[in-house]
Structure 1
Amino acid sequence: MKKRIVITGLGVAAPNGVGIPAFTKALKYGVSGIRHNSLLEELQFSCQISGEPEISEELKSHYFTELELRGFNSSGILYGVIAGMEAWNNAGLPINENPDWDSGAIFGSGTSGIDKFRESIYKIDDLQTRRLGSTVVAQTMNSGISAYLGGKIGLGNQVTTNSSACTTGTEAILMAYDRIQSGQAKRILAGSTSDSGPYIWAGFDALRVCPSKYNENPSQGSRPMSASAAGFVPGSGAGALVVEDLESALERGALIYAEILGGNVNSGGQRNGGSMTAPNSTAVQHCIKNAITNSGINSNDINAINGHLTATTKDSLEIENWTKALQRKDTNFPYINSLKSLTGHCLSASGSIESVASVLQLHESFLFGNINCADLHPEIALLIDHSKVPLETINTNLNIIAKASFGFGDVNACVIFKKFEN
C-alpha cells in the first residue's frame, strides 16, 4: 500500500519575494520581480532585464557566518541555503547535533559558483592555478548546495544534487517522494537553485530566445501565453519544500501544506520532433498521463495547472499537449497559470519555485493571475477558453493542481499536488 506523503515546510528566494510571506503577497497582488539590469546593459545584451532575488547583507548574515562569507561569491548556493533553511525552520524541525539518519536533502542545481570560478581564474594566470584558494571547490562543485544544507542542518540520510535543466526542481521533489515511498527516509528537503548573472544568461541571449523590446518596461517583459510574447526573461533564485511521510508529520504535530499524490519523469529521447531545445510532444503527453495514473486520479479531477510556459513559441504547443493528455479543452479545460509572468524563467530553480507557488495556492485557496496576457495567443484561444487563463488573482478553493516542467535535453517532469485532508 502506498504511503501518504505530504509537504510540511516551504522556503523561497524568488525575484518577486524572498521568504514565504513576501512571496505569497507578491503572488496574490501580481507583483513582478523583473527589473532593469545595469550590468546586462553595460555588456550590451539585447535583453537588459532579469529576475533576481534581492538579498540584503543582514539576511546573508542570518544564514552564514562571517567566516563563511569571506570570499563567498556563489549566488546559487546563497539562494539555495536561504530557501532550504527557511523550509526546514518553517517545518518546525531542529538543527541536529548528530546526523539525523531519517532526514536528507535532494537539492538540484544547473551550475554552481560560475561567478566565483571566473573571479578566481581572473585573478591568476595559468602558471598560478594553485592560488585559486581553499573556498573554490565547495562553491563551484555542482553538489555544493546540498553539501552546504546537509552540513548546516546535520542531515544523515541521502544528501545529493540532481541536475536536469529546467525540470531539475520538479524532478527533485519526485525523487524525494520516491525515496520516502520506498521507506528509505522519513523526510527529504527537496528543491533547486540557479545562479544569477551574465555568464549563465549569455548563451540564451545569443540564442535570441530572450525579449529585447521591453528593456524600458521590465515588468511587461515576461508574457507567457500572450500573442505579443517575445521570449523568456532570464531569472534566478531557489525554492524548497520539506517532503515528509504523513505518519511522521502527524506524530510531531506538523502543519501540513499539501499532499503529493504522485508524478512522473521521462524523456523524449530527442526523437520524433524532440531535440536539445524542443520537446517530443508524445513524451510530454506520456509524462502527464503517467503522472495522473500514478496519482490514482483521473484528468477531470485536476482543477488547475501550473505550466512550464516560458513566453516562447512553444507555449501554444504546451497547451496543445495538455489538451491531448487530459482530453479536456475549451471551457472544460482546467485553470492554467505561469509564474514566469512574475519572475521570469528561473532555469534550474523554476520547477521548485513554481511548486512552492502551487502549494501556496492550494493551502491558501487562491489562483494567481497571468499578468501581461490580456492578448491571449490566437493558437491558444482556439484550444481553451479565455476564462481559463485568469489575468488577476481569483479566490477559489482548489483541490488538485498539476505542476509540470519541460527542459533542455527533451526531459519532462509532472507532479500532482492535492489539498491536504486528514
Structure 2
Amino acid sequence: MNNRVVITGLGICAPNGTTIDEFSVAIKKGLSGIRHQPDLEALNFSCQIAGKPVLSEERISQYFTPLELRNLNSTGIIYGVIAGLDAWKDAGLTIEDNEDPDWDSGTIFGAGTSGIDKFRWAINKIDALEIKKLGSSVVIQTMASGISAFISGKLGLGNQVSTNSSACATGAESLLLAYERIKTGQAIRMLAGSTSDSGPYIWGGFDAMKVCTFKHNHEPEKGSRPMSATASGFVPGSGAGALVLESLESAMARKAKIYGEVLGGHINSGGQRGLGTMTAPNPTSVQRCIQTALKNAGIEAQEIDVINGHLTATTKDALEIENWKTAMQLPDDDFPYINSLKGMIGHCIAASGSIECVASMLELSEGFIFPNINCEDLSPEITALIDAKYIPQTLIHKPFNILAKASFGFGDINACIIFKKYTHE
C-alpha cells in the first residue's frame, strides 16, 4: 500500500507556550520562554538559564486521575501526556471508554529519559533500606516506554505503542516511524511526538561537557543564539510536542481539519566514521539524509521554500548550513528561508524535533515564517555561505508550499522530514 498521510492534530507543551494558540502567538512574535533557574544557580551550574513549560497544578489535574497525581514525579510524562491528549482532541478525536481497544490507532512517542527525579527518589529510598516505601509507580514512571504506556492507556490505543529514543533526532524520527506505519496500511492514525524531562539531573551532563552557554545568566532571553557570531553554546530546554498523523482517506471521510501532508523523509547515521563522532555529525551522512529525504518525498531541492533547521547555537551551526547547501546544490541566489526555533525555547533535547515539527506545521498551514531571534549579529561563517536575506529576523506573512525539517543527534544520527501544504481536494 502507499497511503497518503496528513496531519490532523497538534499539541504542545513548550517553554514559550503550552497551548497551540499561546505557542502560535509566541513564535510569531519571537517570544522567548527561557528564564533564570534558581536551582541551577544554587548547584553552581555554569549555565543557569533554561526553557521549562509553565504549568499550573490545576492544568495538570485535568489530564491525570487523583491516584496518578498522588505519586507522579516525572515532568517528561506530564509534558508528553498534555501535548498528546491535546493533539488528539485538536484532531477532533474522542476518548472512548470502550471494552475493546482502538485497533486502528497507535502511538510512537519518544523520550530521552523518563522520570529522572522519580528515579533519584527511588535510589535514595533503596539506599536508606526503605524498599517497602517505594510504592507501585516507580517502574511505570522510570521505564523508557512510560510515556507511550501512559498515553495508550488514556486513549485506549490498540495498534503499535512504542517509545523511540534517538537523542536530539527523537522527535523527527517518531514522526517518520508513524508515517511509515500509516503509509504501509498497518494503522489508520498514529499519535507521534516526543518529550523531555526538565531539571538539573537532565541538564547537568551537558553543563559538564561545556556545550551550554554561561555568558547570559543575567539576560536569559538573549542566551540562545542560533547562527549568531556571539553564540556561545546551547541553552537547555524541556517540554513535548505531539502530532496526529492519519491516512488522507480517513481524514477526508470524517471531514477532519488538515494542517498539512507528510511527503516522506529519511533517517540515517554517520556511523561515527569520517568526521563523525559521538557528538559531531558526519557531514556526508547529513547530506545523504537530506538528499534521500528529497528523493523519498518525490521532490527537487528547488521546490523547498523553508528549512526548519536543527541549529543549536553552537559552533556546528555553520557546518549545518554548509551541509544543506552542499546537499541541495542550489545557486547562491536561490536558497530557501531557514529558521531555528531554539532561539526562543532553547534546545529541548529529545523533545526538540517534535516541538519544532509543531511550529513547522503552524507555519505551513497558516502561511508565515517565524523570525530568528538573537542573531542580529549573524555569524560571518554563515553569511559567507548564504545571503542574510534567507535568515529572516522579523515575521514574514507568506503562503508557501514545502518545508523541510531536520534534526541531528548525539550518536551521529539524522532525520529529515518533508512537509507539504495541503490543498483541499
Alignment TM-score, normalising by the size of structure 1: 0.99
Give the equivalent residue in structure 1 for 2:392: 390
Is 2:59 the counterpart of 1:59? yes
Distance 2:251 2:70 in 1: 38
Give the equivalent residue in structure 2 for 1:288: 290
Give the equivalent residue in structure 1 for 2:353: 351
Distance 2:132 2:185 in 1: 44
The offset of 1:130, in angstroms, is 4.3
Give the equivalent residue in structure 2 for 1:10: 10
Is residue 404–residue 417 contact of structure 2 (8 Å, CA) maintained in 1?
Answer: yes
Give the equivalent residue in structure 2 for 1:110: 112
Mapping of residues 357-396 of structure 1, within 5 Å: 357-396=359-398
Of 239, 242, 249, 1:240 maps to: 242
Q: In structure 1, the residue corresponding to 2:62 is in which secondary structure?
A: helix
Q: In structure 1, the residue corresponding to 2:130 is in which secondary structure?
A: helix
Is residue 305–residue 401 contact of structure 1 (8 Å, CA) maintained in 2?
Answer: yes
Q: In structure 2, the residue corresponding to 1:415 is in which secondary structure?
A: strand
Is 2:222 the counterpart of 1:202? no
Distance 1:387 1:28 in 2: 18
Give the equivalent residue in structure 2 for 1:228: 230
Structure 2 letter corresponding to 1:166: C
Is residue 84–residue 240 contact of structure 1 (8 Å, CA) maintained in 2?
Answer: yes
Distance 1:329 1:239 in 2: 34
The offset of 1:331, in angstroms, is 2.8
The offset of 1:65, in angstroms, is 1.2
Give the equivalent residue in structure 2 for 1:276: 278
The offset of 1:67, in angstroms, is 1.1
The offset of 1:391, in angstroms, is 0.6
Is residue 9–residue 90 contact of structure 1 (8 Å, CA) maintained in 2?
Answer: yes
Q: Percent identity?
A: 65
Give the equivalent residue in structure 2 for 1:414: 416
Is residue 125–residue 131 contact of structure 2 (8 Å, CA) maintained in 1?
Answer: no
Is residue 34–residue 50 contact of structure 1 (8 Å, CA) maintained in 2?
Answer: yes
Structure 1 letter corresponding to 2:149: A
Mapping of residues 27-176 of structure 1, within 5 Å: 27-96=27-96, 97=98, 98-125=100-127, 127-176=129-178
Is residue 2–residue 185 contact of structure 2 (8 Å, CA) maintained in 1?
Answer: no
The offset of 1:66, in angstroms, is 1.2
Distance 1:322 1:381 in 2: 14
Is residue 92–residue 254 contact of structure 1 (8 Å, CA) maintained in 2?
Answer: yes
Distance 1:307 1:389 in 2: 11
Distance 2:200 2:383 in 1: 35
Is residue 329–residue 383 contact of structure 1 (8 Å, CA) maintained in 2?
Answer: no
Distance 1:363 1:257 in 2: 5
The offset of 1:383, in angstroms, is 0.6
Q: In structure 1, the residue corresponding to 2:230 is in which secondary structure?
A: coil
Give the equivalent residue in structure 1 for 2:258: 256
Aligned residues: 422
Is residue 329–residue 384 contact of structure 1 (8 Å, CA) maintained in 2?
Answer: no
Is residue 268–residue 414 contact of structure 2 (8 Å, CA) maintained in 1?
Answer: yes
More moved, 270-279 vs 115-124: 115-124
The offset of 1:329, in angstroms, is 5.0
Q: In structure 1, the residue corresponding to 2:399 is in which secondary structure?
A: coil
Q: Give the alignment's Cα RMSD to 1 decimal.
A: 0.9
Is 2:312 the counterpart of 1:310? yes
Runs (5+) with no aligned partner, structure 2? none
Is residue 125–residue 133 contact of structure 2 (8 Å, CA) maintained in 1?
Answer: no
* TM superposition outliers: structure 1 runs of 4+ over 4 Å: none
Distance 1:233 1:66 in 2: 34
